[in-house]
Amino acid sequence: MYHHIILQCTQSLKNVETWLDKAEQYAAAKSFDVNMLMAKRLAPDMQPFVYQIQSACDYVKAAAAWLSGQTPPKHEDNERTFDEIRARIRKTATFAESMTAAQYAGADARKVSMSWAPGKVLGGEDYLVQMTIPNTYFHIAMAYAILRHEGVDVGKKDFLGPVNWIDV
């Protein structure tokens, strides 16, 4: 279960690269620097686009690491351009996809602590279901909404990405 869910979260994160392509095309057509989108937000008290992607990456890499018995790699949160945020997505995906299903053996019994909840821990399944999945999709959805709000032509198929249809 852990392996499949983390791979799905990873694929959703990788779908963002398609959105970045569309944002670059939109910026070129409208003659503006695409990197200005990195600071865009939907509300004054909301974190900007770049933060949404950084956070989604952080939740995916942390889950892959903690639930497979490793320490997550550090990312500096210093991305300022679309090329840099692409690199972050790719580093995260490469790390998460390097885990095998066997590495998640015992994930149920692992205890994960959150920096913002000192003295408290979550079991592996609760961490995956209550933190990783909702936070990954929250931040990805916010990034999507910001781009839509700014006029980038992304739609539901872009959000979903590739679907593994079967013949019937």
pLDDT per residue over 69-116, tens digit each?
999 999 999 999 999 999 999 999 999 999 999 999 999 999 998 888
Query: Which whole number is the average pLDDT over 9-27?
Result: 97
Residue closest to 92 by CA, chosen among 16, 35, 160, 18: 16
Domains: count for the chain: 1
pLDDT per residue over 142-157, tens digit each?
999 999 999 999 999 9
Query: Which whole number is the average pLDDT over 51-79?
Result: 96
Q: Is residue 96 part of a domain?
A: yes
Q: What are phi and psi of 122, to 5 degrees?
A: -120, 145
Q: How confident is the model at residue 20 (pLDDT cuts 50, 70, 90)?
A: very high
pLDDT reported for residue 113 = 87
pLDDT reported for residue 116 = 83
Q: What is the CATH number of the domain that holds 64?
A: 1.20.120.450
Q: How far, in Å, CA of 90 to CA of 72, rounded?
A: 15
Q: What is the DSSP string of 120-161?
A: -EEEHHHIIIIIIHHHHHHHHHHHHHHHHHTT----HHHHH-
Structural domain that includes position 67? 2-160
Q: Is residue 166 part of a domain?
A: no
Candidate from 14-28, 54-68, 105-119, 123-137 with smallest mean pLDDT: 105-119
* Three-class DSSP category at 74: coil
Q: What is the DSSP string of 16-44?
A: HHHHHHHHHHHHHHHTS-GGGGGG--SST
Q: How confident is the model at residue 28 (pLDDT cuts 50, 70, 90)?
A: very high
Number of Cβ within 10 Å of residue 1's Cβ equals 12
Return the structure tokens found at 57.
């990456």
pLDDT reported for residue 61 = 97
Q: How far is CA 30 from the centre of its chain?
A: 27
Q: Is residue 165 part of a domain?
A: no
Q: Is residue 167 part of a domain?
A: no
Return the structure tokens found at 167.
């013949």
- Altogether, the residues listed in the chain come to a count of 168
